Amino acid sequence: MDLIVRRAVLAHGHPAGHATVDIGIESGRIVAVEPHIDTQADAQAREVIDAGGMLVSAPFVDAHFHMDATLSYGLPRVNASGTLLEGIALWGELKPHLTQEALVERALQYCDWAVARGLLAIRSHVDVCDERLLAVEALLEVKRRVAPYLDLQLVAFPQDGVLRSPGAFDNLKRAIAMGVDVVGGIPHFERTMADGAESVRLLCEFAAEKGLRVDMHCDESDDPLSRHIETLAAQTHRLGLHGRVTGSHLTSMHSMDNYYVSKLIPLIRESGVSAIANPLINITLQGRADTYPKRRGMTRVPELMAAGVTVAFGHDCVMDPWYSFGSGDMLEVAHMGLHVAQMTGVDATRACFDAVTVNPAQILGLEGYGIAPGCAANLVVLDARDPIEAIRLRAARLAVVSRGRVVSRQPPQRASLTLDGRPGSVDFKLHR
């Protein structure tokens, strides 16, 4: 074995009677997950990591991001109102000034942050409403360059509307031909509800014809009558795209009539459509026109989960025209998600950890994801004893392993104290 991780706690349990497991890695694959790997193997291993009873998880996965806009904060100005619409306008101002070199450099820098956070797979939308397809070329280049350590999946995203923006559908088709993986859309931004529904039909038919996945920005609105998710589910069902389609944001569901939702959620489940909430962004962008009470705007996460829908939390934005904060930390995303959704029970909190790990991995269709023999050797050692503590502390990523190689290390979080009669340090964990 090349690498052995000893005394690991796993997020989803162990063989009965064992508190920890050892994980053996060889040629980029996990080859053993056992209570005790023979210590004689240590001599042959290139490296041995002692997790010391800390949580070892498959890496974080972000199912919804915009890598073409990330780290552009302040270019050409900041979003003064902080609203979605000023963000879209600001992005429109920035687009003509984008250069491929700057796009690539910002995206690579973000991927460095991601790796350090144990975030090793990202689905990024890329705006195709630009004749030059500059961002598409840039992110395809980034995808190629990060491939040795990070899975980057790209969505052809017609930011200004596939029908509303001249040439957008042709650009989207060109982007797919160039190697972009997933078909995107934004039905609520089309001129009318009817155009929105038509865009969903058009894009789903194109995806079916090409055998591709679909991920649409869908109903990112506080309007309870924005019901494009219904059309997306119906088209998915009609075209037999079950398991390959995702609705991102779905914020209008927050404000919908409960009786209507009682029909809608089973329809989403029946069609095998997945859902992605973006808690940091939804809580800051939605409800902007409200006085008080002010709506939270995030979609109905616990209800969708209870119905058996696969739900992920995405980061969406980091330091871009829409959002000035973030650092690629999916534990921060889960932390916000559980607060907004009031998912503070034990099982609910664990479900929020799944929403930034196994659930988005399923949505992306990642192969070999997990901590089990045969899986790809991608993992993160966290400075926490379980998923709940990991979220609470936004725990340090003590070691990040990608393709069987340690690619990042971080010291544990500690503070030294100089108080008379008190301990010399704290690690923010509960010790009894």
Q: Which residues are catalytic?
A: 220
User: Judged by CB under 5 A, how many residues of this single chain contact Fe ion?
Assistant: 1
How many CB atoms lie under 10 A from the CB of residue 20? 17
Binding range to Fe ion, per CB under 5 A, among 5-13, 22-30, 316-324, 404-412: 316-324
Of the two residues 130 and 316, which places its CB atom closer to Fe ion in the complex?
316
Among 40-48, 309-317, 350-358, 417-425, the segment contacting Fe ion (CB under 5 A): 309-317
Buried b or exposed e, range 160-194, using 16+ CB within 10 angstroms = bbbbbbeebbebbebbbeeebbbbbbbbbbbeebe
CB of 186: closest distance to Fe ion in angstroms?
9
Per CB under 5 A, contacts with Fe ion among 250-269 are: none
Q: How far is the CB of 356 from Fe ion (least distance, A)?
A: 16
Supply the angle between the helices 134-146 and 168-178 in degrees, to the nearest 10.
Answer: 20
Nearer Cβ to Fe ion, position 157 or 206? 157
Binder among 160, 190, 222, 316 for Fe ion (CB under 5 A): 316
Q: Which residues contact 143 (CB under 8 A, 6 or more apart)?
A: 152, 154, 179
Piece of the chain touching Fe ion by CB under 5 A; list 112-120, 183-191, 314-322, 371-379: 314-322
Nearer to Fe ion, 91 or 206 (CB): 91
Shortest distance, position 317 Cβ to Fe ion, whole Å: 7
Closest distance to Fe ion from the beta carbon of 254 (Å): 16
- Shortest separation between residue 190's beta carbon and Fe ion, angstroms: 16
Q: Which is nearer to Fe ion, 277 or 390 (CB)?
A: 277
Q: Tell me the one-letter amino acid at 237.
A: H
CB of 66 to Fe ion, least distance (A): 6
Nearest approach in angstroms of CB 215 to Fe ion is 10
Q: Is 108 exposed, middle or buried (0-12, 13-18, 19+ CB in 10 A)?
A: middle
Q: Are 139 and 103 contacting, i.e. CB atoms less than 8 angstroms apart?
A: yes
Of 164-172, 311-319, 356-364, 378-386, the segment contacting Fe ion by CB under 5 A is 311-319
Binding region for Fe ion (CB under 5 A) out of 86-94, 193-201, 312-320, 401-409: 312-320
The identity of residue 18, as a single letter, is H
Of the two residues 182 and 380, which places its CB atom closer to Fe ion in the complex? 182
Find the shortest distance in angstroms from Cβ 71 to Fe ion: 16
Distance CA 121, CA 360 (A): 9
Q: Are strands 213-218 and 245-249 parallel, antiparallel or unpaired?
A: parallel
Span of 8-16, 308-316, 345-353, 392-400 interacting with Fe ion by CB under 5 A: 308-316
Of 181 and 316, nearer to Fe ion (C-beta) is 316
Q: In what order do the strands lie in the sheet with 379-382?
A: 29-34, 21-26, 3-10, 47-57, 379-382, 397-402, 405-409
Residue from 140, 126, 118 nearest 57 by CA: 118
Query: Under the criterion CB under 5 A, does residue 127 sit at the interface with Fe ion?
Result: no
Nearer to Fe ion, 190 or 316 (CB): 316
- Residue 17 has which token pair? 């009677």
Distance CA 60, CA 397 (A): 11
Cβ nearer to Fe ion, comparing 286 with 408: 286
Residue 65: CB minimum distance to Fe ion, A:
8
Residue (329 or 386) nearer to Fe ion, CB? 329
Taking only Cα atoms into account, the Rg of the chain, rounded to an integer number of angstroms, comes to: 22
Tell how strand 245-249 and strand 274-277 pair up.
Answer: parallel
- The residue of the chain with the least Cβ separation from Fe ion equals 316
| Residues that bind Fe ion in the complex, under the rule CB under 5 A | 316
